[in-house]
Amino acid sequence: AEVLQNMGYGAMALEGGLPQAERQSRLLAFSNVKQRILVATDVAARGLDIPDVELVVNFDLPRKGDTFLHRIGRTGRAGKTGTAVALVEAHDAENLGRIERYLGERIERRFVKELRPTYKFPDPHKKSKTKKKKKTKKMLAGAKKKSAKAKK
């Protein structure tokens, strides 16, 4: 929020480490500002009614689908439209797949030319051969242990 403020934007930070009274005070001040950018941790994902949020940007992708759903649910409330954006890096592919399975739909992908990765983004819906091999080896090892116990 401080960087945005230094650039001249009306930005405010909201995080779980703040006392409840301070969070409420900041939310009230936020709703009275014309240029409204709220930089928040997941404390803003649930239980806060913040009217007229037009854009939610997920700087980091949550691990759980319900957390993602609550975050993006801050926009497009009460019949209004809104936009949710998630900045996703290659190491987030597994989380993205988990979120898509939770939502039951594939999230549209758009690449920012300046941020395009130099390597292929892994498909979170494809199981890797290595994971399958490891799982098979674990199953075989478990079966051998059970077999050895049964012989005793």
- Residue 132 is predicted with a pLDDT of 59
CA proximity to 43, closest of 60, 20, 21, 65? 20
Give the per-residue pLDDT at 103. 93
Is the Cα torsion angle 88, 125, 91, 118 positive or negative in sign? negative
What whole-number percentage of the chain has pLDDT above 90?
A: 9
pLDDT digits (tens, 9 = 90+) for 69-123: 888 877 777 777 888 888 888 888 899 999 999 999 999 988 877 776 666 666 7
pLDDT at 51 over 80: no
- Ramachandran angles phi, psi of 13, nearest 5°: -100, 140
Q: Which of 29-38, 69-78, 122-131 bottoms out in mean pLDDT, i.e. has the lowest?
A: 122-131
Residue 49 reports pLDDT greater than 80: no
CA 30 – CA 50 distance, rounded (Å): 9
CA 45 – CA 52 distance, rounded (Å): 15
Domains parsed from the chain with CATH numbers = 45-127 (3.40.50.300)
What average pLDDT does the chain have?
Answer: 76
How many angstroms separate the CA atoms of 122 and 49, rounded? 36
